[in-house]
Structures are given as structure tokens and as C-alpha cells.
Amino acid sequence: MIAFVSGRVAAAGPDGAVIDVHGVGLSVQCTPATLAGLRVGDPAHVPTSLVVREDSLTLFGFADDDERTVFELLQTASGIGPRLALAMLAVHTPNALRRAVAAEDVTALTKVPGIGKKGAQRIVLELRDRLGGPIGGADEVRAPARAEAWREQVQMGLVNLGWSARDAGAAVDAVAADLDGAEAPPVAALLKSALKKLSK
């Protein structure tokens, strides 16, 4: 297994990045929150999990080792493949998932696109003993973006993904207008909304 990759970020897109490791470009699929922390041209150390299929080898990258561990545990539940596991980590932090499963919080789990009520109940049943409780007292959910601080994070994420500062700024303004003073959701969700604005 490839436990991590270290090198310069050669490119970044909406769902992944390319890390240049001694002249070899490794494509890594990541959550929006992980991607927001990668800047093209900067060095990066990304914990990874290699998923082997008959017709493909796919490398998934994470913000830290705990996220990777939870990603691999999630796939031990029936019906959860790597894409769905990554989607779960895009919506919830590892501790939020542990808490949701431990508390049998089906509503929290169904916030993930692709997971219905029955699927959430199966996840609770199969993963309750494997995931365990929250670790280290960290935030239980992806931290909501504070006041206007999210604007800079989302704009930086968009610029890292190759958009011009002007286009990124316009997308951030459009997302802010949609919020209309309401409390901002997590940065990962805001980044997704901004990407939708830019893809129109």
C-alpha cells in the first residue's frame, strides 16, 4: 500500500490533485476540504489509501492519518465503496461520523448524497463496534465557517484549482449573496457551491 505521497503540488482540480514525486505525477482523489489546503507549486505531504480494482488503481488522499483510517473502515460496511466513503468524509469529520454511528443518528448520515435511510441504518449496524467513539475531543462536525473568514479560504481554494482571482472572487460573492446573512456552512460545502457557480 502507498501510505503517503510527498512532493510538490503540480495541479489541482475539483475532485483531486497531482503530486509531483521526484518527477512522477501521482493523481490523488481528495475531499474539497483537503484540496483547499493544497496550493499548486507548494510542497505537500498527503496520507493516502490505494484502492485496487480489476481495471484501475486509484489513490485517495486525506488531510491526516485519522481521516484515512476512517475512510478504510467505512468501506468494510456492505454497499460502501471508496467514492461513497470519500463523500461521507466530505460532509462529516471523522469524529462526526463516529458520533453519528455511535448515537445511531440516521439523519446525520443521510445528509451524505447517495445514502438513504436503509443504507444509514445498515452503516450503523455494521460499523458501530468498528469505528468507536470520537477521538481527542476535536470538533464533531466540519467547523462552520466563521463570519467572513470563509471568503478568503474559498477564494484561495478556487485559485489553487486554477481559476483566476477575478473569477474566484465573483463566485465567492455569488455564494455570499445566496447565504443572505445566514450562518455559513462548512468551507467544503461553500467551495462546492462556488465551483457550481463557476461551472455554469
pLDDT in tens, the chain (200 residues): 789 999 999 998 877 899 999 999 999 999 877 888 888 999 999 999 999 988 989 999 998 999 999 999 999 998 899 999 999 998 888 999 999 999 999 999 998 888 999 999 999 999 988 888 777 654 444 544 444 567 777 877 777 777 787 888 888 888 888 877 666 677 777 888 888 888 76
Q: Which of 96, 94, 91, 111 has the alpha carbon at shortest distance from 32?
A: 91
Range of the domain at 22: 4-61
Residue at 20 is within a domain: yes
Q: How far apart are CA 40 and CA 172, in angstroms?
A: 20
Model confidence, pTM: 0.69
* Pair (89, 109) in one structural domain: yes
* Pair (74, 94) in one structural domain: yes
Residue at 137 is within a domain: no
Q: How far apart are CA 149 and CA 187, in angstroms?
A: 10
* Pair (50, 72) in one structural domain: no
- Which helix or strand (DSSP H or E) is residue 46 part of? strand 43-53
